[in-house]
Amino acid sequence: MKKNSMIKAAAVTGAAMTAVLIPLGGTSYAAGCLSTGCDNKGPVSMNCDDQYTSTVRTVNNNERIAELRWSSTCDAAWVRVHNTSSNPTYNAFGYIEKYNSSGTLLKSLSVAVPDSGNDWSNMLGGASYYYRVCISFQGNEYPLKCSTKF
């Protein structure tokens, strides 16, 4: 094989490999974790907060809202908090809790949301578990409120 033929063959092979490796617009990316492998990982960084994610429970505590978010892609849940209060003095605290079938609390994660912001916790995973979210804020006027289990 002549040198020019080898260079052309290498160029064609390189171009073909580049076309395969460059993602097309609208390409979905695989989730970075699944089930209990998602425990304490971020839903956005793991590509779990996608079009298959839904809000399955919501609880409101004096304009502080906690949503139980469920990803069927990752079989994992997390709490998303919206602090919509007109009084930005108090931080909101959202919690996600993971229970087994006997009702025993296995794990809990939390997120603090200052002023009138929004944020979410890391995930807890596994389709065979039960989850609930709770919301509270600084001050004793309003007690902790929790959703029903999902």
3 falls within a domain? no
* CA 35 from centroid of its chain's CA atoms: 12
Q: Note whether 128 and 35 are within 8 A (CB).
A: no
Domain of 46, CATH number, reads 2.60.40
Q: Is residue 93 part of a domain?
A: yes
pLDDT for res 137: 83
Residue 53 lies in domain: 35-146
Domain annotation covers residue 123:
yes
Domain count, the chain: 1
pLDDT tens string for the chain (150 positions)?
554 554 454 444 444 444 444 444 444 568 899 999 999 999 999 999 999 999 999 999 988 999 999 999 999 999 999 988 877 677 889 999 999 999 999 999 999 998 778 999 999 999 999 999 999 987 667 789 999 999
Spatial distance between the Cα atoms of 131 and 137, rounded to a whole number of angstroms: 21
- Alpha-carbon span 112 to 135, nearest angstrom: 10
Sheet holding 145-146, edge to edge: 105-113, 92-99, 130-137, 145-146
**Residue 68 burial (CB < 10 Å; 0-12/13-18/19+)?**
buried
Q: Is 68 within 8 Å of 133 (Cβ atoms)?
A: yes
In angstroms, the CA 121 to CA 45 distance is: 12
Residue 24 in domain: no
Q: Is residue 54 domain-resident?
A: yes
Q: Is residue 69 part of a domain?
A: yes
In a domain, 4, yes or no: no
Report if residue 7 sits inside a domain.
no
Q: pLDDT at position 134, please?
A: 97
Q: Is the pTM here over 0.75, yes or no?
A: yes
**Which pLDDT score is estimated for 45?**
96
pLDDT, tens digit, for every residue of 29-67?
688 999 999 999 999 999 999 999 999 999 999 889 999
